[in-house]
Amino acid sequence: MLIYNRFDTYEILEILEYYFTNNILLYYLPSYTSYKLQPYNIIVFTLLKVAYYDNVKRIERRGVNTISK
Q: pLDDT truncated to tens, each residue of the chain (69 aa)?
A: 777 766 666 567 888 888 889 999 888 777 777 667 676 667 778 888 899 999 999 999 998 888 776
Among 18, 27, 25, which Cα is nearest to 1's? 25
Q: What is the pLDDT of residue 55?
A: 92
Same-domain status, 20 and 49: no
How much helix, strand and coil, in percent to the nearest 5, is found in the chain?
A: 60, 10, 30
Is residue 29 within 8 A of residue 4, CB to CB? The reply is: yes
Q: Which domain holds residue 13?
A: 1-31
Overall number of domains in the chain: 2
Looking at the fold, whether 44 and 19 belong to one and the same domain comes out as: no
Tell me: do 37 and 63 sit in the same domain.
yes
